[in-house]
């Protein structure tokens, strides 16, 4: 089975779906791998490394032909879909819950598409869980962005020139990214509080040495470990509580998300204005609209001296490590779908069935 | 200038000194074995002295008796399985008590009208010796599974017991008061035997070691009483040494089980006890709880220890203490490594964050694939609040929600110690077979507190 | 032996009792059973009593009783010692420290 | 005595010489303080805060007149010098070792100028030691810049998608800034080595838990605790040793400086090229030419995939805290020069004499 | 049935039991005072028993003697300054030894031709008692500064000492061999007194407590020997208890000073010793070294402790252990704070970096200005590898390079414990007056190791 | 008292010696001096010897010697006890823990 990896075309996307290390592992198991020239450049993996790992370097035009599977990071453009032959297996972040148009295109082209987002979050699929691996990078990077933007030092320092007070940080939404943000903020020496609506999270927050900020808003956890959407009353209650507490903090990192929905608006613009000048908000939910009213997705804006970072696709800014993690996720999925390099699609299997978003009618 | 009795006395004094040193040595791991040898030497001195100086006859009988006893002792002690050691201790303790009772009976028979103090000693020796004899036999039978290990109870048992003991005491008091009839002591012995049986019957198998230790102290006291009868300081001292040390040891053992001694001895009268922290799987395998002291000895004698941290370490915020324990062990020459499972904890890299905070060098951390082959050469796998990531069901049980997840092969280690608070499951909500493994012991409690106790205990080694 | 004043014997008894308590002040749990077994061996000293009784026995009754006592006491001594020794054999020596630690 | 604080005019300078907290302390001791409007804005200290602290807010033009002392951060422009009346006390970073022209201007105008750089580094002057306080901020910020630029995570993480190797960082020059950089890098979870030519530094590096990289180059320490310049042979030896070792590292932070001289060139461009793509060099010595051949002062350049950050004036990027620290240094100096709010210049005093770079002829 | 001698024996047994318990209690801080009371009770029982049952006369003399002794004892013990306690112990120990020697002399005088064993006891009692008497008097004189505290030595001293002791022993052997002349014992006593004087003279004042403890053990043995003379078990046992306990205590005390006992006793024969870690300022003030155990007691009994970390904590990388110690103390109800000097360490915020790494909550850290007023209410200031930042010269000595630097007012605390490796100066290269303060004790050694020892010691409390 | 066999006295002596060693197994340094003082008091038991000698003295020599012994021994007992008590008086009670700790 031949796996082809294109150079990403989405704007700002620096990651690559397979890194050389994984390529050699796949080849050892019986896969053939083609890589589009310069596909790994932006992430720090030069073509020579791929060649050394046994990949065939091909031009973009030739890539899709002869490939049984295409592994990529972001969803393909319409023309890229066009270039794939029917029956090809496609792996990547395909945005299945919101990009129905894209899915229709794939279905029409009879592509067997597996969305990384749709891999069930069960224990044995953890090694394929790209949402988690990329969220880990985002959580870390969010803190670095905040530290870079804020005109303050994070740690407390008592010096001959007086004492520097530590930054007070708040993390809203302590999922994978939120927990990593908590850990990184604490590492840098800030005093961290965190808040989430899922009740099990409190213990997890405390297990990282941070304080749990109790706003009195709780919701259940779904099967997959996600949060349920709040009722409108709960949402109002949360906004009010946050509006009151937010000005205490110098750094706020928000990660609140409910799969398939727009991000809940948690921080009203009025709360932003009441923050101390120089404070920073990093909105990791910017992609789905942001948790903060002031967030402009993809941009960094200032509101009354407060910087609101709506930068999307943070993992792409850490392309080296995030590609490495993503590549392992992809190869774990590949090995699941094609244990010895030959495709064996078992539609009874929870992972295969769950991750597949379009498949040939015969199989349905 | 030195008279015969003086020589005898001095030689017996040598024995006493040997015994004291023996007990001292036996209570430290380093010298324990030497202690037994010193005790043996003391015993030889005492026996030789008695044979040479106490002006005795009946050599043939003595020789035959000694031979039979030796054969029984050697054969019994040599051939028994290691796991059957406790019942061996019980039986050898019992025969000692029996010997003391018999010596008392002989003296009762021989002395025309012994003084009140002599009689008191005879009565005590007979009474306590017999209880110890009968009780030990029952303990032996229970452990050997000749009798059910379960507590054997019947209604009104304690009333009967008390009555029997009162009757025996009454007979003893009569003897002291001057009733010098042979049957008095015989009857007393019979009652004491009965009491011994009934005293031990209701006690469950798990508690037997404590009971044996108590009976051991009893035999010591009986031997001491025999010493009063025979005016023998070596008997008085040695017997009492064992009496006192045995009593203290009994208390320590009960404490190590987190039980009061009263609870051990009389707890079963109302209710069948389910020994602290001991759970039983459907197929009869049990979970074994352990103590910080025992784990400390295991760790101190280990060559290689692998620490397996999990979410529980994070919850307990025990990372600094874990590192300290590891440092101490390393300082003692133990090879310590940390096995980091990729999904230990609740976020990617959870263990890394905590262990970095505790300043554990990266070089001590091993990924799963790298460390798994090493468990087979590991003496102790110290599992600290990890659960799912060690669950063998992931390998063996296709029905399990974690089936297919690679796990840390802790079950390959020579022994496994698990620190957690209860038998509650972890994230995946499933039971862990590992805890029923015969090589696994559980140290229950908050991980931070358990580690702190372990540190103290290891330092005390 | 010449009979001793009772109170002297009591004094000795009390001293021995204290000593018994003090001497095993701190035993690791792991040594509980071996220590019990070792103590068990030590009270085998009752063999001295058995020898004296049997050695001085003149009538059949005393001889029988003394003989049984002799057998039992010897079993106590010999068995007790060997059991203890076997148990302690399980304690291997601690490996030599590789480097200096705290 | 009236102290005036101008709004800084040097390009990119966001700091302010006194912050409101210090203003109230000075006023309590008997000083009067004037602040140019909007002087603290860029650093996050609004005019209202100054007014609350008791400062008089004045326009730029009116500032110099009536001021006995002018406290500022960067050296004044020629026109600003012109505006000061003779005999005025001036406090600031005046660059006395290199800016001889500026000094001449001040001397001509009969300004009594105290350079923060010239305060002797003796124990009792520690509270005035602005070099240290600003270097502390630089050292911290250098790490944040590196973390933001590098496409990797600093800490080691063992995850279901494989293990992320920690960043390997090297700090060259473990003075105040270097030590702080070491501490911050370690906080973020990188594996840190450090190198310096002063022999006492090894223990200090190790006291922060980092490893000392021994390149076999040693020099003495001067009275003030600075390094002596290396001999040409030593310099060559050091370059060669570094050239060999540098490619092992993902992040290099250089701080090597010898007061009054151009920064020693430690990292040849060839060494930069041999580093892994994506690596980052932060050159804190950029202001005096840089420790790295590839450094362009004030710019961020790329050389063979390696980012070389030559950004100068890092403290200005952390204007809030660096102003706060600087302000305490300045007020400590003010209280030394004018203990009760009245100027008492004791030219016998080691600090007063040492810090003064131009003074009226009568006093000389 | 109970005879008079039995009653006497039992009462004396009560005394013995009391004494054993007293010693046990005296070795733990919690029960020590109770221990003394139990001992006192035992003593009263013994005295009353002797007076009532030992069939004696000379009541008036006894009463007068007792009264004089009581007055001397009470007045001496009550009026002495707390710092002069050691010499009081010495003197009361000496008189005990003297009493033992006198009893021996009296027996020698009274018994017509005592048996060899009795004579041996008399000789030992006289010999040891006299040495103890004379030695204690010299120790007293030295501590009270009636004699120079310095070692007093002359050439050939040890040869002379050995000869004197040999002569005394020779006389004793003659006595045992049957030379029952009065002068023999008198001469022996005279030689023993001489030996006692010469034995103690060469020992320096700092080592005196060890010597007193040894002489204390001697007196115990002398009393025990007296017991043999008088056939008194209570004397034999009590004396020997003190003999053994005193000997062990002597070893422990020498160990606590990091000296061998031989070094203490004979070290001065060649050379004047400068007691380990004891330095002397020009004006005669000395630096006092302490032990982890002592610091542990201080910390455990403190209400408020301020930790003052400095560069030495960083060098030793002791931050994690410091936090652990603080946690333990906090857990025991001690109020623990950290005082952070602005320039502690070698870079701005050095202590913050380390303590944050060790997870010390920011709220426990106090800036200098905030914490300085609190030292006056602090029981122990625990200075860990900090030096310059605590140096009072910054306040008082205008010539000092650090004059004018604000410092942490540790010298205001009730007591100060300094952990460092030596008397070497810190960054500024100057000596620190603080170490000569009478409230300061030094715990020498690497800070990490010292803290680890402190943790063990505090836990053992 | 009736004379005892020497060997019995020796037995008692040996037991007492062991007990003396064992009973003070672990003393914190701070208690060294008080413990020494307490032990010092206990050997004041020699007062029993002094009483016996003086109480049974018939000649002047014995009376004088006995009297001095009596004075010395009493001083040992009384002074030893009070000194110990004063020293121990310095040990104040530990404050009550504010909260539960490890
Ligand atoms: N790493 C990730 O990214 C991630 C993310 C989401 C989920 N997960 C899942 O989380 C699990 C991680 O496995 P794991 O072995 O680390 O944890 P686990 O299976 O959840 O087990 C943790 C154990 O720690 C014990 N514990 C909790 N608090 C404790 C305390 N204070 N002291 C002592 N013990 C304590 C609990 O037992 P007691 O209650 O009896 O004490 C529990 O059984 C896996 O199932 C994994 O799939 C991981
Ligand atoms: N913070 C800053 O920004 C900065 C910068 C430069 C200079 N300084 C200067 O540094 C000094 C800081 O004062 P400080 O009190 O923290 O330190 P210090 O005065 O330098 O004293 C440190 C003490 O720690 C002891 N020590 C070293 N290693 C040790 C170990 N392993 N275990 C135990 N003790 C150890 C040393 O004594 P032994 O050798 O006897 O053990 C030394 O006396 C001040 O003079 C300050 O002016 C500070
Ligand atoms: N079983 C597994 O192996 C596995 C693997 C990966 C993740 N998970 C679990 O799945 C869960 C979801 O992870 P995720 O990070 O992808 O979630 P996510 O990105 O969907 O949401 C991020 C966080 O936002 C929180 N949130 C939602 N609405 C909120 C609101 N109104 N206010 C505040 N917080 C709000 C959610 O509770 C969640 O913690 C995590 O708990 C994770 O542990 C489990
Ligand atoms: N006494 C005090 O109170 C006090 C106050 C502040 C600073 N200091 C000391 O002054 C010293 C200098 O501090 P700084 O940071 O301002 O110095 P700096 O900025 O002048 O130099 C930075 C570092 O570069 C190093 N260096 C110079 N040439 C080098 C080369 N060729 N290769 C590698 N490294 C080289 C220097 O040794 C120094 O450590 C520090 O040690 C500091 O502790 C003392």
Express each pLDDT in D125-138 by its tens digit: 889 999 999 999 99
D165, D156 Cβ separation under 8 angstroms = yes
Q: Could you state, in order of their start, the residue ranges of all structural domains in chain B?
A: 1-79, 87-266, 292-459
List the 428-457 stretch of E: residues with Cβ below 8 A of B: 456
Pairing of strands E415-420, E440-444: parallel
Q: Which residue of C has its CA nearest to F24?
A: C22
Cβ-Cβ contacts under 8 Å, F30 against chain E: 29, 293-294, 297-298
Q: Which residue of B has its CA nearest to E459?
A: B456
Tell me if residue B442 falls in helix, strand or coil. Answer: strand
Angle at alpha carbon of residue E415, lines to E411 and E421, rounded to 5°: 85
Structure ipTM: 0.68
Q: Would residue A353 count as lying in a domain?
A: yes
- The yes-or-no verdict on residue F22 having pLDDT over 80 is yes
Closest ligand to Cα A226: 3
Distance separating alpha carbons of residues E94 and F40, to the nearest angstrom: 9
pLDDT at residue number F86: 86
Closest ligand to Cα B429: 1
Element (H, E) at A172: strand A168-172
Backbone angles phi, psi at E427, to 5 degrees: -55, -45
A151, A159, A321: residue with CB nearest D153:
A321
Per-residue pLDDT band at C70 (split at 50, 70, 90):
very high
How far from F101 is each of B384, B419, B452, E138, E334, CA to CA, in Å? 21, 20, 11, 49, 10
Q: What strands, in cross-sheet order, belong to the sheet with D211-212?
A: D211-212, D191-195, D168-172, D251-254, D280-283, D306-309, D300-303
C-alpha dihedral over E38, E42, E48, E54, to 10 degrees? 180
pLDDT at residue number B292: 86
Distance separating alpha carbons of residues D64 and D35, to the nearest angstrom: 10
Per-residue pLDDT band at F2 (split at 50, 70, 90):
low
B99, C50 Cβ separation under 8 angstroms = yes
pLDDT at residue number D236: 87
Distance separating alpha carbons of residues C31 and C37, to the nearest angstrom: 10
- The yes-or-no verdict on residue C97 having pLDDT over 50 is no
- Closest to A238 (Cα-Cα) out of A258, A262, A260, A213: A213
Cβ-Cβ contacts under 8 Å, E233 against chain C: 8, 11
The 10s digit of each residue's pLDDT in E371-397 is 999 999 898 999 999 999 999 998 888
Per-residue pLDDT of chain B (461 residues; tens, 9 = 90+): 345 778 888 899 999 999 999 998 888 877 888 999 999 999 999 999 999 887 678 889 999 999 999 999 999 888 887 778 888 899 999 999 999 999 999 998 887 777 888 899 999 999 999 999 999 999 999 888 888 767 777 777 778 888 999 999 999 999 988 888 888 999 999 999 999 999 898 887 777 888 999 999 999 999 999 999 888 999 999 999 999 999 999 988 887 666 778 877 776 544 433 333 344 444 555 778 888 877 887 888 788 999 999 999 999 999 989 998 999 999 888 999 999 998 898 888 899 888 988 888 888 999 898 899 999 989 999 999 999 999 999 888 888 888 888 899 999 998 899 999 999 998 888 899 899 888 898 999 999 999 999 988 887 66
- The yes-or-no verdict on residue D65 having pLDDT over 90 is no
Q: What is the mean pLDDT of residues F14-23?
A: 87
Pairing of strands B380-384, B415-420: parallel
Structure tokens at F63: 């009376």
Best residue among E319, E385, E450 to mutate for probing ligand 2's pocket (most ligand atoms within 8 Å of CB) is: E385
pLDDT at residue number B268: 52
Other beta carbons within 10 angstroms of residue B167's beta carbon come to 17
pLDDT at residue number E161: 87
pLDDT at residue number C2: 57
The 10s digit of each residue's pLDDT in E18-32 is 999 999 888 887 788
E134, E195 Cβ separation under 8 angstroms = yes
A269, A239 Cβ separation under 8 angstroms = no
The 10s digit of each residue's pLDDT in A220-242 is 777 767 778 888 888 888 888 88
Q: Which sign, positive or negative, has the C-alpha torsion D70, D71, D75, D77? A: negative
pLDDT at residue number C62: 92
pLDDT at residue number B21: 92
pLDDT at residue number E208: 84
Do D310 and D200 share a structural domain?
yes
Largest CA distance in chain F: 69
Q: Would residue D128 count as lying in a domain?
A: no
Residues in contact with ligand 4 by the CB-under-6-Å rule are D 121-123, 126, 129, 131-132, 135, 172-178, 196-198, 201, 225-227, 230, 238, 255-259, 264, 266; E 346
Inter-chain CB proximity E347 and D126 less than 8 Å: no
pLDDT at residue number E342: 87
Domain count along chain D: 2
Distance separating alpha carbons of residues D105 and D99, to the nearest angstrom: 10
Percent of chain A scoring above 70 in pLDDT? 99
Angle at alpha carbon of residue E267, lines to E265 and E269, rounded to 5°: 100
Residue A170 forms beta bridges with which residues? Answer: A193, A252
pLDDT at residue number B405: 87
Angle at alpha carbon of residue E192, lines to E188 and E195, rounded to 5°: 140
How far from A287 is each of A134, A322, B218, CA to CA, in Å? 14, 18, 79
pLDDT at residue number B386: 95
Inter-chain CB proximity B388 and A123 less than 8 Å: yes
- Rounded to a whole number of angstroms, the distance from the CA of E361 to the nearest CA of chain D is 16
B53, B4 Cβ separation under 8 angstroms = yes
The 10s digit of each residue's pLDDT in A250-303 is 999 999 988 888 899 999 999 999 999 999 999 999 999 999 999 999 999 999
DSSP label at residue D292: B
- Closest to E289 (Cα-Cα) out of E299, E279, E281: E279
Distance separating alpha carbons of residues E185 and E374, to the nearest angstrom: 65
The average confidence (pLDDT) of chain D is 91
- Rounded to a whole number of angstroms, the distance from the CA of B343 to the nearest CA of chain D is 6
- Rounded to a whole number of angstroms, the distance from the CA of E387 to the nearest CA of chain D is 13
Other beta carbons within 10 angstroms of residue A317's beta carbon come to 20
pLDDT at residue number C22: 85
Backbone angles phi, psi at D252, to 5 degrees: -125, 130
DSSP label at residue E289: B
Pick the more confident residue, A153 or C90. A153
B224, B236 Cβ separation under 8 angstroms = yes
pLDDT at residue number E2: 47
Closest ligand to Cα B311: 1
Backbone angles phi, psi at D229, to 5 degrees: -70, 145
pLDDT at residue number C92: 52
- Rounded to a whole number of angstroms, the distance from the CA of E319 to the nearest CA of chain C is 15
Pairing of strands A300-303, A306-309: antiparallel
**Residues whose CB is less than 8 angstroms from the CB of residue B236 and which lie 6 or more positions away in sequence, other chains included:** B224, B227, B228, C9, C12, C13, C16
- For chain C, how many helices (H) and strands (E)? 4, 0
Best residue among B387, B389, B401, B407 to mutate for probing ligand 1's pocket (most ligand atoms within 8 Å of CB) is: B387
Distance separating alpha carbons of residues D6 and D4, to the nearest angstrom: 6
Percent of chain D scoring above 70 in pLDDT? 99
pLDDT at residue number E212: 92
CA of D99 to the centre of ligand 1 (A): 63
Angle at alpha carbon of residue E71, lines to E67 and E77, rounded to 5°: 145
E215, E94 Cβ separation under 8 angstroms = yes
pLDDT at residue number B3: 57
Query: Which CATH number does B292-459 carry?
Result: 3.40.50.1220
Inter-chain CB proximity E61 and F83 less than 8 Å: no
Inter-chain CB proximity E347 and D180 less than 8 Å: yes
Distance separating alpha carbons of residues E393 and E435, to the nearest angstrom: 12
- The yes-or-no verdict on residue D47 having pLDDT over 90 is yes
pLDDT at residue number D326: 97
- The yes-or-no verdict on residue A314 having pLDDT over 50 is yes
- Where does E206-272 have alpha helices with state H? 208-230, 233-256, 261-266
CA of D211 to the centre of ligand 1 (A): 34
pLDDT at residue number B29: 74
Distance separating alpha carbons of residues B89 and B73, to the nearest angstrom: 11
DSSP label at residue D42: G
pLDDT at residue number C45: 93
Q: Which residue of B has its CA nearest to C83?
A: B77
pLDDT at residue number E280: 44
Per-residue pLDDT band at D209 (split at 50, 70, 90):
confident
E–F: how many Cβ contacts below 8 A? 410
pLDDT at residue number B275: 37
List the 196-225 stretch of B: residues with Cβ below 8 A of C: 209, 212-213, 216-217, 219-220, 222-224
pLDDT at residue number A110: 92
The one catalytic residue in E388, E409, E411, E437 is E388
Answer yes or no: is the C-beta of E452 below 6 A from any ligand 2 atom: no
The 10s digit of each residue's pLDDT in C7-56 is 888 888 888 888 888 888 667 767 888 889 999 999 999 999 999 999 98
Residue A214: give the domain boundaries. Answer: 135-317
Q: Would residue D276 count as lying in a domain?
A: yes
Inter-chain CB proximity F29 and E256 less than 8 Å: yes
Residue with tokens 């013990």: E77
- Where does E366-423 have alpha helices with state H? 368-371, 393-396
Pairing of strands A157-159, A306-309: unpaired
In chain E, which residues have pLDDT < 70?
A: 1-3, 55, 149, 256-258, 267-285, 461
Do A10 and A140 share a structural domain?
no
Tell me if residue D345 falls in helix, strand or coil. Answer: coil
Best residue among B279, B405, B421, B432 to mutate for probing ligand 1's pocket (most ligand atoms within 8 Å of CB) is: B421
- The yes-or-no verdict on residue A214 having pLDDT over 60 is yes
Chains contacting B (3 or more CB pairs within 8 Å): A, C, D, E, F
Distance separating alpha carbons of residues B122 and B103, to the nearest angstrom: 9
Element (H, E) at A35: strand A32-36
């Amino acid at each position: 089975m031949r796996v082809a990896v294109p150079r990403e075309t989405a704007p700002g996307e620096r990651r690559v779906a397979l890194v050389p290390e994984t390529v050699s592992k796949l080849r050892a198991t019986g896969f053939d791998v083609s890589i589009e020239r310069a596909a790994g450049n932006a992430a720090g993996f030069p073509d020579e490394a791929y060649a050394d790992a046994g990949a065939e370097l091909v031009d973009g035009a030739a890539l899709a032909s002869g490939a049984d599977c295409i592994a990529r990071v972001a969803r393909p453009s319409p023309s890229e879909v066009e270039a794939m032959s029917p029956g090809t297996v496609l792996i990547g972040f395909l945005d299945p819950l919101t990009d129905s148009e894209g899915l229709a295109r794939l279905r029409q082209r009879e592509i067997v598409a597996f969305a990384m987002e749709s891999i069930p979050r069960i224990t044995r699929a953890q090694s394929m869980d790209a949402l988690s691996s990329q969220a880990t990078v985002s959580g870390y990077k969010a803190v670095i962005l905040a530290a870079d933007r804020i005109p303050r030092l994070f740690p407390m320092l008592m010096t001959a020139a007086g004492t520097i007070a530590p930054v007070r940080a708040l993390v809203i939404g302590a999922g994978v990214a939120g927990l990593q943000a908590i850990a990184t903020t604490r590492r840098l020496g800030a005093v961290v509080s965190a808040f989430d609506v899922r009740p099990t999270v409190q213990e997890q927050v405390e297990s990282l040495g941070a304080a749990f900020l109790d706003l009195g808003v709780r919701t259940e956890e779904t099967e997959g470990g996600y949060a349920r959407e709040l009722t409108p009353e709960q949402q109002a209650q949360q906004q009010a509580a946050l509006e009151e507490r937010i000005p205490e903090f110098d750094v706020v990192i928000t990660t609140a998300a409910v799969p398939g929905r727009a991000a809940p608006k948690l921080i009203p613009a009025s709360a932003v204005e009441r923050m101390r000048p120089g404070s920073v908000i990093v909105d990791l939910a910017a992609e789905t609209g942001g948790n903060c009213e002031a967030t402009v997705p993809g941009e960094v804006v200032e509101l009354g001296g407060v910087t609101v970072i709506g930068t999307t696709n943070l993992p792409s800014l850490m392309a080296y490590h995030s590609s490495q993690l993503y590549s392992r996720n992809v190869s774990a999925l590949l090995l699941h779908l094609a244990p010895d390099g030959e495709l064996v699609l078992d539609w009874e299997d929870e992972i295969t069935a769950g991750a597949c978003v379009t498949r040939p009618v015969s199989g349905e | 200038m030195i008279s015969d009795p003086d020589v005898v006395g001095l030689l017996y004094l040598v024995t006493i000194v040997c015994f004291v040193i023996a007990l001292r040595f036996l209570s430290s791991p380093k010298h324990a074995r030497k202690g037994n040898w010193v005790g043996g030497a003391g015993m030889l001195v005492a026996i030789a002295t008695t044979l040479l100086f106490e002006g005795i006859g009946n050599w043939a009988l003595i020789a035959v008796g000694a031979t039979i006893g030796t054969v029984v002792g050697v054969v019994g002690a040599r051939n028994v399985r290691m796991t059957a050691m406790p019942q061996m201790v019980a039986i050898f303790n019992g025969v000692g008590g029996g010997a003391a009772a018999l010596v008392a009976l002989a003296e009762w028979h021989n002395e025309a009208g012994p003084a009140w103090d002599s009689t008191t000693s005879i009565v005590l020796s007979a009474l306590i010796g017999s209880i110890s004899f009968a009780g030990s036999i029952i303990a032996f039978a229970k452990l050997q599974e000749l009798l059910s290990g379960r507590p054997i109870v019947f209604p009104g048992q304690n009333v009967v017991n008390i009555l029997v003991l009162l009757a025996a005491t009454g007979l003893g008091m009569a003897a002291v008061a001057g009733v010098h009839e042979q049957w008095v002591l015989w009857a007393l012995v019979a009652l004491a035997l009965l009491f011994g049986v009934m005293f031990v019957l209701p006690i469950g198998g798990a508690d037997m070691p404590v009971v044996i230790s108590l009976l051991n102290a009893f035999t010591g006291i009986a031997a001491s009483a025999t010493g009063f009868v025979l005016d023998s300081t070596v008997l008085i001292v040695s017997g009492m040494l064992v009496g006192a040390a045995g009593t203290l040891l009994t208390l320590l053992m009960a404490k190590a089980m987190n039980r009061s001694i009263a609870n051990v001895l009389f707890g079963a009268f109302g209710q069948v006890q389910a020994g602290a922290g001991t759970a039983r799987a459907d197929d009869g395998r049990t979970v074994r709880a352990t103590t910080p002291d025992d784990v400390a000895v295991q760790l101190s004698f280990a060559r290689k220890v692998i620490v397996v941290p999990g979410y529980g370490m994070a919850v307990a915020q025990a990372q600094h203490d874990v590192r300290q324990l590891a440092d101490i062990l390393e300082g003692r020459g133990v090879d310590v490594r940390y096995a980091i499972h990729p999904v230990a904890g609740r976020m990617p890299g959870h263990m890394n964050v905590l262990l970095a905070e505790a300043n554990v060098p990266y070089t001590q951390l091993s990924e799963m694939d790298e460390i798994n082959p090493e468990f087979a050469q590991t003496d102790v796998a110290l599992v600290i609040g990890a659960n799912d990531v060690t669950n063998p069901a992931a390998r063996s049980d296709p029905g399990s929600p974690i089936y297919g997840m690679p796990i840390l092969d802790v079950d390959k280690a020579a022994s496994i110690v698990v620190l957690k608070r209860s038998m509650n499951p972890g994230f995946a909500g499933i039971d862990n077979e590992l805890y029923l493994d015969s090589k696994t012991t559980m140290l229950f409690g908050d991980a931070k507190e358990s580690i702190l106790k372990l540190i103290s205990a290891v330092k005390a080694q | 032996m010449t009979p001793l004043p009772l109170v002297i014997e009591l004094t000795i008894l009390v001293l021995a009792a204290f000593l018994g308590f003090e001497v095993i002040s701190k035993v690791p749990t792991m040594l509980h059973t071996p220590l019990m077994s070792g103590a068990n061996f030590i009270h085998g000293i009752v063999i001295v009593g058995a020898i004296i009784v049997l050695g001085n026995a003149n009538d059949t009754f005393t001889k029988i009783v003394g003989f049984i006592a002799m057998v039992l006491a010897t079993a106590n001594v010999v068995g007790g010692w060997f059991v203890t020794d076997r148990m302690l054999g399980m304690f291997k020596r601690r490996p030599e420290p590789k480097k200096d630690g705290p």
